[in-house]
Amino acid sequence: MQTVTERHLVAAAPVDDFRAAFDTAHLAMAVIGSDGLVRAANDRLIALFGADLPDGLAGSSAAELCALRDDSWTWGCFLDVLQGRRPQLRVSRRLKASEGNPAWYDVTVTPLAEGGALLSVADISEPRELRARLRHLQMHDPVTRLPNRALFFERLAAALEAAREQGSGRIGLAYLDLDGFKAINDTLGHRVGDRLLTAVGRRLTDIAAEGGYLVARLGGDEFAVLVEDSTGTDQLCDLAGDALTALQKPFDIAGQRLALSASIGVVERAATGTTATALMQAADTTLYWAKADGKARWTLFDPERNAHRMTRQALSSTLRPAVERGEFALEYQPLVGLGDGAVRGVEALVRWRHPTLGVLAPNRFIGLAEENGAIVPLGRWILETACRQAREWQLARPHEPVFVSVNVAVRQVWDSDLVADVAAILEETGLPPGLLQLELTESAVMGSAGRPLQALQDLHEMGVGIAIDDFGTGYSNLAYLSRLPVTTLKLDGSFVRGFRSAEHPNPADETIVEALVHLAHQLGISVTAECVESEEQAQRLRRIGCDTAQGWFYSRAVAAERVSALIGVEGVSTV
């Protein structure tokens, strides 16, 4: 059985051990009471904060020592730990030690079972500085030492948030791309290219320094200048102008004098209602405009121009589905014989009955269809629909059938088997090949070689007519006419417009047209005049010898029902 003394020694031993561990610990620690005052501090903490205090740190306020009153949240959490209502408080603080410069420390406060809490303070200056250096490397471009894309977007998001909090805050952005940098990089090498990029960064930084703007290299030869709390578009335009001027001065790199310019997209707007992504998209679009407009310039974001671009993109993406949904329709413009005024044929013109934009003319979507390949299914539909309609008219008026003329894009020749498509459609509809004419632009036909030329030859041998549309606006290589299977020339309206006034005729236009008509007839090619708008024009074209004409003087493009009425077959069903 243990004596009282033995029991005291057993109980005291762990306490002494804990005290020894507390005193000799490498971590600065203190026991603080529920009132927040230091009850006992080890040598590490005393050396850190109280080397010049005769009584050490006993009775000192832990909150004052460790800056725990700096914000209300930390102070409240500290009090909760002292009262046992919170399991721990851990914060980082920049503290002024008794000796040396301020440094960063991790401060931890943990409640004790018997009341009060244990305070520990750990120096984290070195790992914090290491993290800062690593972050700097991560967030800066290794070539120019400028902020990189990641840091730029971080600052952009923070600037937007700060501007929104102001309520009326604005933000601006200049997005730069160097003109001709790739050629310099490719010819002189990446080392010279990197030095040039560094020099560009320095010039931009010098320009931005006065306003405190952020300059970043976003990658490649792209730079951005962020203007926080913008005062308006004038500020951004001045900045862009200064940047252009600075970059147009020659650079002396590696013993060579290099000339450079830049294209700049400028965006300035209210922060409310925009995002970092939307701002960058607008800047990228505007930079593209500056490049497209001729480079070596800055361009300000234009909402109307952007709306047109967005509409263009929307139309492009919905073209193919629109063909499948049957949103297109054909109208027909009569081609009239200048000798007798009779309708000899019709040109099929496509219209897009868009569900939201209304009826769209071909100039709104044909170019897009050629770009994205939708012209192939659309062209096939146009050809089939026009041939089916022409067959209906032929059956109703077999003694005087009218031909149908259909526009064909060169991409239809390259991306599909046009000859096979035409043959299949003619067989399916029953339309004789001689009642079909295909129109190609002058630039496409005159440059035909290889597959396109073979396709034209095959179609001609099939009996299909080939017309050159807008003749006189392209290459006008007349020598080609003798080698191409062309049956019709369609004179561009620019020639016909010179025939408008009988009182003030343009003799040059008349001479040119007369020569073209004579040449075409010598080659066995008929001539159609486009854009005829008056009786005077029609008479002069008839006198010169044009075979057929089309234009508003005779009729606009109309629905098939109107054409049926014009040729006297009103009872014919239309497709």
Total-model pTM: 0.60
What pLDDT score was predicted for residue 226? 96
* 68-107 tens-digit pLDDT: 998 899 999 999 999 889 999 999 888 877 666 788 889 9
How many other C-beta atoms lie within 10 A of the C-beta of residue 560?
A: 23
What pLDDT score was predicted for residue 306? 80
* 4-61 tens-digit pLDDT: 433 343 344 455 666 777 877 778 899 999 999 999 888 888 888 865 655 678 888 9
CA angle 330, 332, 338 (to 5 degrees): 165
What pLDDT score was predicted for residue 575? 64
Query: Cβ(246)–Cβ(204) under 8 Å?
Result: yes
What pLDDT score was predicted for residue 503? 53
Type of residue found at 435: L
What pLDDT score was predicted for residue 131? 77
What pLDDT score was predicted for residue 446? 59
Residues in the chain: 575
272: tokens are 């409310």
**Phi/psi of residue 150, nearest 5 degrees:** -60, -50
User: CA quadruple 161, 233, 178, 196: dihedral positive or negative?
Assistant: negative
What pLDDT score was predicted for residue 279? 93
Residues 526-546, mean pLDDT to the nearest whole number: 92
What pLDDT score was predicted for residue 555? 94
* 370-427 tens-digit pLDDT: 988 899 999 999 999 999 999 999 999 999 999 999 999 888 888 788 999 999 999 9
**For the chain, what is the mean pLDDT?**
87
Among 414, 529, 521, 511, which Cα is nearest to 469's? 529
Q: Who has greater pLDDT, 179 or 481?
A: 179
**pLDDT grade for 225, boundaries at 50, 70 and 90:** very high
* 154-173 tens-digit pLDDT: 999 999 998 888 877 899 99
How far, in Å, CA of 574 to CA of 529, rounded? 27
Residues 225-243, mean pLDDT to the nearest whole number: 93
Q: What percentage of the chain has pLDDT greater than the value 70?
A: 89
Beta strands in 284-430 (DSSP E): 298-300, 328-337, 343-354, 358-360, 403-407
| Interstrand relation of 403-407 and 343-354 (parallel, antiparallel or unpaired) | parallel
Q: Who has greater pLDDT, 246 or 482?
A: 246
SS3 120: strand
Question: Of the given ranges (43-47, 366-370, 432-436), which has the lowest mean pLDDT?
Answer: 43-47
Q: Who has greater pLDDT, 505 or 157?
A: 157
Question: Of the given ranges (33-37, 500-504, 506-510), which has the lowest mean pLDDT?
Answer: 500-504
Question: Helices in 351-497 by DSSP H: which ranges?
Answer: 366-372, 375-396, 410-415, 418-429, 442-446, 451-462, 493-497
Type of residue found at 499: F
206: tokens are 């010098």
Max mean pLDDT among 137-146, 349-358, 420-429 falls in 420-429
